[in-house]
């Protein structure tokens, strides 16, 4: 009887892998002169269509491998691509290429699930790794416990930075200059107060600024105050005094008492989903919001008549003209154990060429503008930038070049750390804990977990070397 759970687990794994094998993109016509690679990606909607079109573009180019065969890529959009890919890698049937989020690449590298790309880059004289902006290249490079030096585990697909977005019509209505965003945090407070509206019965109908909307970067507010979340690989710094100061500042937008705080919670609960006309910013319920470069797409889809602008979010410290932003990106990888790694490299290399990246991120002929984002490169073609559909793309490019562009910490416990920070922020926003209490709790929980995770990685590496 004790073997039954193992049998059930093995059966589950077998069924899962079998489903993966059947859930494949349709095969392309083949000849002895062709070789096919498979590419699993997470995107749906217009983003998925843009990448599919980019893969079709690659196929039309008819790149050849060292044997002279034409490389064809079969593209599959799939949900939970990270989990499915890990299962397929464990089962010995991975795709040749997989698209992930940058925040998890280092974790997959620690799991020995990815091929390091140095072996391809070092032997490819055409590839130039110095062309990337540092804020994005940082995600590609990671030093595992098992390695003496850092290695390259992924390449960018669609990078992004975040900025303050504001509603120009609301600014004008409130007596503010529509073309001038707040330059300081004090001005942001002042502008937010002027933008906030109540109806004749005193009910809240609009907030000038609401920090938890959308709430995707609650973990990052401390960086706008000069704080940080870790000190290298060994130390968690959740209770950094500057992180605490940031959360105290955010509470200025949480009402004057418990009743107003509860009113704000009810107000936010009535917001529609992000990808809809009822989005809080698009529907005029919030006048200013921190959002990413992709926001222009959703404005175009759901409220094309909106008059809006974007600029760097203000900081509490003298940043020397180097604004703070969160830099993030999607990435493309070669899973360990794939059948065609050399051919997979050709796809990664093409997408990371100027031609491929510009086609994916913002060429009009790619489904009316591709994904509408910036590229990860230091130099941008002026003609490409001029025809790009994003009216403020240069803002996001400049943010990506900033020395204060923040990347997600490459910690083995990052996913849990982020959840703890989000939970702590919610407790503070609900007035169930002070910033000192909530961040102190996160510090006490996460430092031992980080130490245990590092010990386990080191023990696993020592065992593997025996």
Q: At what angle do helices 354-362 and 341-351 cross, to 10 degrees?
A: 70
* Nearest CA-CA partner of 374 in 355, 386, 387, 358: 358
pLDDT at 14 over 80: no
pLDDT at 98 over 80: yes
Note whether 5 and 55 are within 8 A (CB): no
What pTM value is reported for the model? Answer: 0.92
**Is 7 part of any domain?**
no
CATH of the domain at 334: 3.40.190.10
* Nearest CA-CA partner of 189 in 248, 246, 244, 252: 252
Average pLDDT estimate for 154-171? 98
List of residues 6+ apart from 198 with CB closer than 8 A = 204, 205
Residues 195 and 303 in one domain: yes
Residues 31 and 86 in one domain: yes
Q: What is the pLDDT of residue 27?
A: 58
Average pLDDT estimate for 408-418? 97
Backbone angles phi, psi at 158, to 5 degrees: -125, 105
pLDDT at 458 over 80: yes
How far, in Å, CA of 362 to CA of 372, rounded? 5
Q: What is the pLDDT of residue 462?
A: 81
Note whether 185 and 316 are within 8 A (CB): yes
- Could you list the residue range(s) of the whole structural domain that residue 427 is in? 161-326+407-452
**Is 345 part of any domain?**
yes
Average pLDDT estimate for 143-169? 96
Q: What is the pLDDT of residue 461?
A: 81
How far, in Å, CA of 287 to CA of 307, rounded? 11
Give the tens place of pLDDT for each residue, 309-324: 999 999 999 999 999 9
| SS3 state of residue 442 | helix
Sorting pLDDT into bands at 50, 70 and 90, what band is 22? Answer: very low
pLDDT at 7 over 70: no
* Nearest CA-CA partner of 92 in 146, 14, 12: 14
Residues 302 and 336 in one domain: no
End of a domain among 402, 419, 441?
A: 402
* Nearest CA-CA partner of 302 in 320, 323, 284: 284
**Is 5 part of any domain?**
no
How far, in Å, CA of 464 to CA of 466, rounded? 6
Furthest-apart CA atoms within the chain: distance in Å: 76
**Is 12 part of any domain?**
no
List of residues 6+ apart from 328 with CB closer than 8 A = 101, 102, 103, 159, 160, 161, 292, 407, 408
Q: What is the pLDDT of residue 463?
A: 78
Torsion on CA atoms 168, 169, 172, 174, rounded to nearest 10: -100
List of residues 6+ apart from 326 with CB closer than 8 A = 161, 162, 217, 220, 223, 405, 406, 407, 408
Q: What is the pLDDT of residue 28?
A: 57
Give the tens place of pLDDT for each residue, 59-70: 999 999 999 999
How far, in Å, CA of 235 to CA of 373, rounded? 34
Backbone angles phi, psi at 41, to 5 degrees: -135, 160
Task: Quote the mean pLDDT of the chain.
Answer: 93
**Is 412 part of any domain?**
yes
Residues 125 and 221 in one domain: no
Residue 65 Cα distances to 26, 37, 72, 300, angstroms: 22, 12, 10, 41
Average pLDDT estimate for 80-104? 96
| DSSP labels, 273-294 | -SSSTT-TTTTTSEEEEEEETT
Average pLDDT estimate for 326-330? 98
Residue 62 Cα distances to 30, 67, 127, 365, angstroms: 13, 13, 19, 19
Q: What is the pLDDT of residue 25?
A: 54
407 upstream amide cis, omega within 30 of 0: no
Residues 303 and 336 in one domain: no
Residue 16 CA to its chain's centroid (Å): 28
Sorting pLDDT into bands at 50, 70 and 90, what band is 8? Answer: very low
Residues 300 and 436 in one domain: yes
Residues 321 and 179 in one domain: yes
List of residues 6+ apart from 256 with CB closer than 8 A = none
Residues 218 and 229 in one domain: yes
Instruction: Tell me what percent of the residues of the chain surpass a pLDDT of 90.
Output: 90
E strand or H helix that includes residue 46: helix 45-61
* Nearest CA-CA partner of 109 in 343, 411, 462, 463: 411
| DSSP labels, 82-94 | HHHHHHHHHHT--
pLDDT at 398 over 70: yes
Note whether 302 and 163 are within 8 A (CB): no
Give the tens place of pLDDT for each residue, 243-279: 999 999 999 999 988 999 999 999 999 999 999 999 9
**Is 16 part of any domain?**
no
How far, in Å, CA of 440 to CA of 249, rounded? 17
* Nearest CA-CA partner of 238 in 417, 3, 407, 27: 417
Residues 147 and 217 in one domain: no
How far, in Å, CA of 331 to CA of 154, rounded? 6
Q: What is the pLDDT of residue 105?
A: 96
Residues 228 and 287 in one domain: yes
Residues 184 and 318 in one domain: yes
Average pLDDT estimate for 83-106? 96
Residues 152 and 32 in one domain: yes
**Is 344 part of any domain?**
yes
Q: At what angle do helices 45-61 and 341-351 cross, to 10 degrees?
A: 110
**Is 132 part of any domain?**
yes
Q: Name the domain count of the chain.
A: 2
């Amino acid at each position: 009887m004790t073997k039954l759970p193992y049998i059930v687990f093995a059966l589950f794994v077998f069924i899962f892998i079998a489903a993966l094998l059947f859930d494949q993109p349709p095969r392309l016509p083949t000849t002895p002169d062709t070789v096919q690679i498979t590419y699993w990606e997470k995107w749906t909607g217009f983003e998925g269509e843009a990448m599919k079109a980019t893969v079709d573009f690659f196929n039309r180019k008819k790149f050849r491998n060292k044997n002279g065969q034409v490389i064809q890529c079969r593209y599959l959009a799939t949900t939970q691509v990270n989990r499915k890919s890990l299962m397929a890698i464990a089962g010995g049937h991975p795709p040749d290429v997989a698209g992930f989020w940058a925040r998890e690449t280092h974790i997959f590298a620690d799991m020995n699930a990815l091929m390091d790309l140095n072996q391809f880059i070092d032997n490819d004289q055409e590839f130039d790794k110095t062309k990337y902006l540092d804020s994005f290249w940082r995600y590609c490079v990671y030093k595992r416990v098992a390695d003496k030096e850092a290695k390259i585990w992924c390449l960018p697909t669609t990078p992004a930075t975040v900025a303050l977005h504001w509603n120009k019509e609301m600014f004008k209505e409130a007596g503010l200059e529509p073309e001038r965003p707040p330059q300081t945090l004090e001005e942001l407070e002042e502008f937010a107060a002027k933008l906030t509206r109540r109806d004749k019965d005193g009910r809240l109908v609009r907030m000038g600024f609401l920090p938890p909307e959308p709430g995707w970067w609650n973990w990052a507010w401390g960086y706008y105050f000069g704080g940080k979340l870790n000190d290298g690989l060994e130390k968690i710094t959740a209770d950094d005094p500057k992180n605490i100061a940031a959360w105290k500042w955010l509470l200025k937008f949480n009402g004057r008492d418990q009743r107003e705080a509860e009113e704000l919670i009810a107000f936010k609960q009535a917001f529609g989903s992000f990808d809809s006309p009822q989005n809080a910013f698009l529907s005029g319920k919030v006048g200013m919001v921190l959002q990413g470069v992709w926001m222009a797409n959703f404005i175009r889809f759901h409220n094309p008549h909106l008059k809006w602008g974007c600029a760097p979010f203000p900081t509490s410290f003298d940043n020397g003209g180097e604004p703070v932003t969160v830099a993030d990106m999607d990435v493309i990888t070669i899973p360990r154990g794939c059948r065609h790694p050399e051919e997979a490299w050709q796809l990664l290399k093409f997408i990371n060429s100027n031609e491929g990246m510009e086609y994916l991120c913002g060429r009009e002929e790619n489904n009316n503008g591709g994904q509408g984002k910036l590229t990860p490169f230091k130099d941008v073609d002026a003609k490409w930038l001029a025809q790009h559909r994003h009216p403020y793309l240069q803002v996001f490019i400049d943010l990506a070049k900033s020395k204060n562009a923040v990347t997600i910490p490459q910690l083995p416990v990052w996913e849990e750390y982020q959840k703890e920070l989000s939970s702590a922020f919610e407790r503070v926003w609900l007035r169930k804990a002070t910033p000192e209490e909530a961040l102190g709790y996160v510090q006490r929980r996460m430092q031992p977990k980080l130490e245990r995770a590092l010990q386990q990685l080191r023990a696993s590496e020592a065992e593997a070397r025996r």
